[in-house]
A and B are shown apart, each in its own frame.
Chain A
Amino acid sequence: MPPDNSYATLKAGPGVAVARQQCEFCHSTDYIVMQPRGNGRQWDAVVTKMIKVFGAPVSEQDAKTIAEYLATQYGN
């Protein structure tokens, strides 16, 4: 398999390390940067889906950190 897409570098900001580690475990970060912008509620729903539907083993605290990071850096 080729390496992950180089254009999919996550924006710097509080929580980026947690987001990178937890999200990249299952998928490349191009899935994140290509998404339409979303508010806190929308990103929270995305993170919840990853945990409840796809079974991502993310703690409650990390899920909160990731959703806040996404809403801040990829918000609208």
Chain B
Amino acid sequence: MGDVSRREMMKRLAGLGTLLAAGVVDPRIVRADGDPVLAGRPLVRYPEKTELILLTSRPPQLETPMKYFDQAITPNEAFFVRYHVFPIPLDVDLATWRLRVTGRVDRSLELSLDDLKTKFRPALSRVQSRRRRRSRCVERLRGGQDHFDATR
């Protein structure tokens, strides 16, 4: 990418979106079988997950296969996995699991999964790894570059 700034890259990506919408760029270029990055990559099964595309083994970075993208919501077992540091949990006890909101907030929060399900309005969001958009840069950057999003 050289001296192209992040802002400039975002502008170019936005431009690409416009081209895609207009049907100028062939969207089939992201298909795994025509993709030199994805082609031939193995599917693996990690604890609590279904078969996912292997990017790295340890810490695991696993991608959601294309077949899940015809569903509005990605199943948990197919949701992409990205770990950078240890420890890597092999199972999660939902009875004791808590989401903690701390730091620069007026009021710290500690929420159980049941709290999340019952005390808030449901919302749909696209979850994207922060590395995601870098994978299509022509000059590869360092680090693990994954390709697909997921929705929950």
Report which A residues bind B (CB closer than 8 A).
1-5, 7-8, 26-28, 30-31, 34-36, 38, 46, 54
Contacts and interface: CB of A to CB of B under 8 A. Distances in A.
Contacts of A38: 142
B140 A28 contact: no
Give the interface SS of chain A, mostly helix, strand, loop or mixed: loop
Interface residues of B, number: 22
A30 B90 contact: no
B57 interface: yes
B88 A1 contact: yes
Contacts of B58: 1, 4, 27-28
- Sorted nearest first, the 5 A-B pairs with minimum C-beta distance are A28-B57, A36-B140, A28-B58, A5-B57, A4-B57
A36 B88 contact: no
